[in-house]
Structure 1
């Protein structure tokens, strides 16, 4: 059997994969507010924060704190490194499925 590809453990956790997929759906450089991301993923604020921290530590996401009309807002975006890691992850997953028959 050929060498099976390794899947990025930072992305591979289900919740982080869901976050990464949601952010990868945005155009490069676009941001989403934390509450909107939380709503899209149906995650608690604490759970989302924990997974975003792991992704931020890996430099896959960037968190920006700003103000809109004197109201604090947290913005999240996928970095270029995060987008590249996600693309590598999906390619590795396809290779893994192809190597095992995909059924």
Structure 2
């Protein structure tokens, strides 16, 4: 199998926690911090760190507001994040296809 597709994997997305965040946000316009935390079974600190990494890469936008005097944080993919995740998924599909062809 050609090693080149593996070298193209986006390491920002490829980490398990960040891939989970990106996967969830890819199918929803935005999700709350609590929805992400509970679904992905992460601690607040761990989720915050992963969101910050994705935000610094330009993949995620974070909005903060208040509902009933409580802070409410939501996250969504940026256009760049949506494009990067599509490329990432396409690359994984290519890797699997190459393996199928080589190891039939």
Please tell me the TM-score bracket, short chain as reference: 0.7 to 0.9
Q: TM-score, normalised by structure 1?
A: 0.88
Question: Please, which runs of 5 or more residues in structure 1 have no aligned partner?
Answer: none
1:2 shift after superposition: 4.4
State how many pairs are aligned: 100
Q: Does 1:90 align with 2:57?
A: no
How large is the Cα RMSD of the aligned pairs?
Answer: 1.7
Q: Are the aligned partners of 1:63 and 1:74 in contact in 2 as well (CA < 8 Å)?
A: yes
Q: Which runs of 4+ in 1 moved over 3 A?
A: none
Q: How do residues 15-94 of structure 1 correspond to structure 2 at under 5 angstroms? A: 15-26=17-28, 30-94=29-93
Listed one character per residue, the Cα deviations across residues 48-75 of structure 1 (whole Å, up to 9, x for unaligned) are 1111111000010011111113221111
Structure number with higher helix proportion: 2
The match for 2:9 is 7
**Distance in 2 separating the partners of 1:93 and 1:82:** 16
Q: Give, in angstroms, the shift of residue 3 of structure 1.
A: 5.8
TM-score by length of 2: 0.87
